[in-house]
Each structure stands twice: as C-alpha cells, then as structure tokens.
Amino acid sequence: MAVLLENITNCVWLAFAALHQETPGFVNKSKLKVLTANIGTLLDLYGVEKGLEHFRSTQTLNFNQFKYYLQNEVFASLPNKAPPSELQRYENKIAEVCWLVCRKKYLCRKNGIFNDDGIFKIFRIFCVLAELAADTHNENFYQVLLHPSEVFQIAQTLANSLGCTFDDDDFTSLSVSMGSFRLTPFIAVLESRCLDGVKDHVAINEAVTDLYQTIVEDVIKKGFMTKKGYIFPTMREYWFVLTPTELTYYKTRSEKEKCGVLPIEPNSKLAAKAGFKISLQTSDRIYELGTSDHMTRLQWISSLQIAADHSGNPLSYQRQLAAKRRQQRQGRIQEMIRARAQLQKERTARVAAEGQAKELEAVVRADVMKLSELEQVKGKLEKLLEEETQAKRDEEIVRALQARVLAEEWEKREELERLQEEQKQLLEEERGKRKEYEELQIYKEKELMSAKSRLIQLEKEREALDEQLKLATEKARRSEDKKELLEAKLLQVSPQFRDNDRVRRAHSFMPSTKEKPIVLEVRSATLRKKDK
C-alpha cells in the first residue's frame, strides 16, 4: 500500500506538525500512539500502535521515523493491490482523522468567509496538489507547499464559478513576493482574491464542493443525459457524475438519490450513434446514453474516453495531471538550469573572446600606431623635401629681388641725397624767414605795448577829464541855484530892476563861446581814445 501512504503523506505531516510542541520536528510517542491507533482502526488493523513503544529507544520520533514505522508496521499489512474506490475510501477516512488533529490551527480565524466544511475541503484540495519539502533550516522539519501555478488555477476556477473578476497581474505580483504557498496563506488568498463582494454562502459552498469533487473525488465531468432502461427501453433523464472508475447517475442535480452506477473499464469502448446518442460498451453489457446536442455528445465522449484510459491506474486522474504539471515545471526548471549553464558558457566564451579581441585589438592598435608613425615620418620627409626645393626656388627669387632692390636702393639713395640738399636749402630759407618773422613779431609786440601804455594813459586822462566835467557840472548847478535865489530876491525889490538885473545876470552866467569848443574837443578826444 505504498500508493495509499504516498497519497496521505501531506495529511499525516500536517497532523504530525500539529502535535509537536517543544522541539520542532519531534513528537512524543504517546501522542503518536493515538494517531496510529486511529489510522489502524480505519484500516481494520488493531493494536498497530503498540509497536511504537519498542520502536527506537527515544521517547520522541521525527517524521521520517514515524513514516518508516507506518510503512513497515501499518500499511505493510494491507494487500499490495486494491481497487481505486477502496483506496479513495481509505484516503478519505485517514484524511478526516488527520484533520481532526490539526483543524484547530486552521479553524481559529477571524472574519473567515469559508465555513468549517469548506475549510476541510480546501485542506483536502491542498493536500492532493501540494508537495512535501524539507526545511532548509531544520532537516527534521518539513513544509507542505503548493506551487503558485496550482494556486493560480484553483483561484481562477473558484472566481469564475462565482462570477467574480480575477486579477492575473495582481496574483502574479503576489506569487512572486510569496513564492510557494502554505495552507493558511492559501486559504487567505482564496478568500481575499476570489470572494470579493460575494456574500452568498450557499454559492460559496457549492463552488468549493465542485472544486473538491473535481480534484479530490476525481470527478471528470457532470451533467444531464438520458439513459435507456434495461427492462423498459425508454430514455429517461438523469444527472450523471463521471469518475475514472464509474459513471454514477442520480435523479436530481443535488446528488442525494443515487439511481445506479455504470462501470468504466480500461477496455470500455465508446461510439457515437444517431440522434446525439452514445454507446458505452463494457465487459458486461452495452449502455445507451443520449445528449441534447452534438457539442455535448463530443464533450461526453471525450470525458468518457479519458475515464476509460485512466480507470486501471491506482493513482487518481487529478494526481496524474498534477504529477505531469510537476514534471513539466521541473522540466522547465531543468531547461532553465541548462539555459543558464549554456548562458554561463556563452558568457565565459564571450569573455574569453573579448579578451582575445582586446589582445588582437592591442596588437592591431600597436601596428596602426607604428604605421601612423611611419606615415608621419614619410610625410615629414616629403614635407622637408618640398620645403628644401621651395627654399632653393625662394633663394633664387630672393637673390633676384635683392639685386633689383639694391639697384633701386642706389637710385633712392641718390634721390634722397638730392632731396636732403633741397631740404637743407629750404630749411635755410625757412630759418631766414623765421628770423624776419620773429623780428617783425618783436616789433609788433613793442608797438602793441606802446599802444597799451598810451591807451592806459588816455584812460587816465579821460578819467581826469570826467572828474573835471563832474566838478564843472556841479559848479554850474550850484551857480544856477544861487542865480535862482538872487532872482527871487530881486523880484521882491523891484520889478524893473529885477528885469534889468535878470538880463544882466543872464549875460553874466551864460558861458562864453570860447569855452564850449574846448569842452567839445576834450570829449571828442576821449571818445577817439576809447575807439582805439
């Protein structure tokens, strides 16, 4: 019964992990006796737990030791071959016992959406698809891990069955951050990512039940078909449930009233008949089934053929698919490892090639530098040769120019000497003229000085004359005042006398004609001095 032990290993480990308390990875024998006794009772084996007392000398066992004991002392008592239905029944019972041991850890959750039965079914789904992996930190401790691709498929199926939207990108980022899933995170992911906004617990339970039947109970297909009766050859409609070993039909979709079972054998033959009917031939008899349309018939024929192909295999159909997916993942991993190794080889080869290329590049660079240096030397030599040739030409030209310039220089020198003589003559003449101009200038300056002194003298004379004029004017004014005063006195003495005396005074005070021209001449002389 190695297949049965392999199928329940994940469940047994979860129960074993729930029993250890002090030392991780080790459980006391007294606790393992209870678990072993319950498993033995389910397998109709009694007293199998008594051998634990004498198995090894320690009081505790790790999981490898306990699994070894189960394999050799418990499951070895069962027949090597058993019908798949019996294996399924044993597995269900042992899983229920293991769940009773470890359920407290997973049912004590706050704000959980799944009920207890739903959590148990998810526990069974997880155990069927998960893998048992050793802990890297403790060799006696294991972990049951579910690959993110399996979680993605289950979550997407559950969300689609409930009509919820499933965000692939969000789940991908979550799986990258978490890696493989344990049972508790697996339940939390299903509740948070697949049941967003769903409050109908009946629908949730139905969706979980469908998923449980598909993965755990190995249900390949369900649906309505008609079946031809054995006694009464009439077609009656039933609800059919297909597994790899049998096709069970019920009266209603609730699957409560079982009507019969059609065996599925490895040599079963299928054929399509007229009227959308299917012929199922087994070793006992031929069954005639009917569908509603051509597409439904094709689906049922394909599902029945899958069931017939896997009916003789002790491993369940879903476990075979999971193993195939696991092999594909391992193949992809191996391919990735090979690709990485190939990539590493290519990188090494590329580094070596780059090193060789750098060496060759250095050699080529050195050759190029030498070639460039030689080209530069050649260019310099050619340039020097050209410069030498050009220098010779220039030398001849310069000599010719020097001869011509020398001749022109003699001519210019003669002309310069002649011009110097002329310039000397002009300078002598200029000096003579300049001397005359200087003498004339000195004479003019002397005349100017004498004129200035004369002008100053005239101004002084004018000022003296002006003073005399002011005195004469003042004297005349005083004389006029005295005259008027005397005339007033004379008028008071006698009118006649006043008149005669007035005439006489008038003649006496009148200026003589000889004095007036002198004053005029003085004034005209003063004005001429001012003009000058």
Q: What is the domain range of residue 504? A: 461-531
Report yes or no on 481 lying in a domain. yes
Report yes or no on 475 lying in a domain. yes
- Give the Å distances, CA to CA, from 250 to 74, 208, 224: 37, 20, 9
Token pair listed for 457: 């003298």
Token pair listed for 407: 């001749």
Report yes or no on 137 lying in a domain. no
Report yes or no on 480 lying in a domain. yes
Amino acid identity at 217: E
- Inter-residue contact 222 to 206 (CB < 8 Å): no
**pTM, two decimal places:** 0.63
Amino acid identity at 23: T
Report yes or no on 482 lying in a domain. yes
Q: What is the pLDDT along the chain (532 residues), one digit of tens a residue?
A: 678 888 888 898 899 888 876 677 788 888 888 888 888 888 888 888 888 888 888 888 888 888 888 888 888 888 777 777 888 888 899 999 999 988 888 887 667 788 889 899 999 999 999 988 887 777 778 888 998 888 889 988 888 888 888 888 888 888 878 888 888 888 888 888 888 777 888 888 999 999 999 999 889 999 999 999 888 888 999 999 999 989 999 999 888 899 999 999 888 899 998 889 999 998 888 999 999 999 999 999 999 999 998 887 878 888 888 888 888 888 888 888 888 888 888 888 888 888 888 889 889 988 999 999 999 999 999 999 999 999 999 899 989 988 998 988 889 889 889 999 998 999 999 888 989 988 988 999 899 998 899 899 999 998 999 899 999 999 999 888 888 888 888 888 755 555 555 555 555 544 444 444 444 444 444 445 444 4
Measured over the CA atoms of residue 372, residue 378, residue 384 and residue 386, the dihedral's sign is: negative
Report yes or no on 500 lying in a domain. yes
* CA–CA gap between residue 204 and residue 161 (Å, rounded): 9
Token pair listed for 511: 């200026």
Contacting residues for 246 by C-beta, under 8 A, at least 6 apart: 85, 261, 262, 263, 264
Q: How many domains does the chain have?
A: 1
Report yes or no on 63 lying in a domain. no
Report yes or no on 507 lying in a domain. yes
- pLDDT value of position 494: 56
